[in-house]
Copies of this chain bind each other. A is one copy, B any other.
C-alpha cells in the first residue's frame, strides 16, 4: 500500500466493547456473548486503512486489561492509536441482531466512560500533523460537553491548518433527544467541508434546506441505506447513486464503511459521483462481513464495481 503518508486521515471518537448475541437470540436468554471492538469513528479509520490510506484515531481508553484489549484491536487494524489513558469505564453495549419483522436493538451501557472525561484541554496539536482530513461524528458530540468541546476544537484547528473536515451526523436516538439535535450538531455542521447525513435524520436539522442554510459551502451526502445515496453540491447540483445489492451479517458499520470509502476516493481526487459510487461498493462489502469494520482492499472494491460472477468461488 503506497498512499502518501501526508494523506492520512484522523478520526476522533469513542471505542466500545460490543457484546453480541448469536443471530436471532434475545438478551433475556443470553448465555454467551461475542466481544468486538466498535466505534463509528474507529470504523471509519479502519476502512480508510484497509483501502490503503494511513489513518489515526484520537480517543481515550481506561488503564487496565479492557483498555489494553481495545489497543491491541486498534493495532491489529493497523490504525495509529493516539488514544489517551484516562480514568473511567470502557463503555459497552449489547446488540441483538434479529430477522424481520423483529427489530434489532442496541442496549447501551456507556455511563462514566473514560472518553467522557475528555475536554478541549486534551487537544494535542501534533494529532493533525500529516493529515489531509479530520473525521468526526455526531456520536462524539452527544456524549457530553467535554467530548463535544474537544471535537469542535479539533475541527477548528483543522480548518485553521487547511485540513479538510468531514462530519457524519450519525444521530443516535438512544443517546440524544431529537429536540437537542440542532443545538448539539449545529457548530460541527458549520465547520464541515463534507457532511454525511441519513435521510431519516434530515428532519432534525431542518431538512436539506435547513442543513444548507447552516453550511452553504459543504458537499452534503445523504444516505438512504439500500435505497442508495445522493451528493448535493454547494452550488445546487445533485448526484444520485443506487445502492449495491448485498447480503450478509454486517449491517452494523455500513454507514462507517460508506463514509470511509467516500473519504478515500474523494481525497484521492474522485468527484462526488465517483466517490459515491466507490462508497456504495464499500458499504456493500461491509454488509458481507461480521464485525463492525470494513475489510476490503481498493482492488476488491473495484472488482465489485466492475461486476463479475459471484455465484462461483474463485478456484
Contact = CB atoms under 8 A, between A and B. Distances in A.
Contact of A251 (B28, B34, B106, B313): B313
A103 interface: yes
Contacts of A173: 314-315
Interface stretch (A213-221, A257-265, A283-291): A283-291
Contact of A24 (B92, B95, B249): B249
Contact of A104 (B25, B226, B291, B313): B313
B102 A288 contact: yes
A307 B102 CA distance: 10
Contact of A314 (B64, B106, B281): B106
A32 B34 contact: yes
Contact of A311 (B89, B251, B291): B251
Interface stretch (A51-59, A66-74, A232-240): A66-74
A26 interface: yes
A196 to B, nearest CB: 15
Interface stretch (A108-116, A159-167, A267-275): A108-116
A204 to B, nearest CB: 15
B76 A72 contact: yes
A111 B95 contact: no
A99 B313 CA distance: 11
Interface string A104-130: 111111011000000000000000000
Given A32-B32, A111-B112, A315 B76 contact: no
Given A65-B26, A288-B99, A310-B100, A34 B31 contact: yes
A3 interface: no
Contact of A28 (B25, B65, B107, B288): B65
Interface residues of A, number: 80
Most buried by B among A32, A94, A252, A312: A312
A178 to B, nearest CB: 14
Contact of A76 (B75, B103, B250, B295): B75
A241 to B, nearest CB: 15
Contacts of A111: 89, 111-112
A210 interface: no
Given A28-B295, A29-B72, A33-B34, 12 more contacts: A19-B19, A24-B248, A24-B290, A27-B66, A31-B34, A33-B33, A75-B75, A101-B244, A101-B284, A102-B296, A103-B303, A105-B313
9 contacts: A24-B289, A26-B295, A31-B34, A72-B78, A98-B248, A101-B288, A101-B304, A102-B310, A111-B111
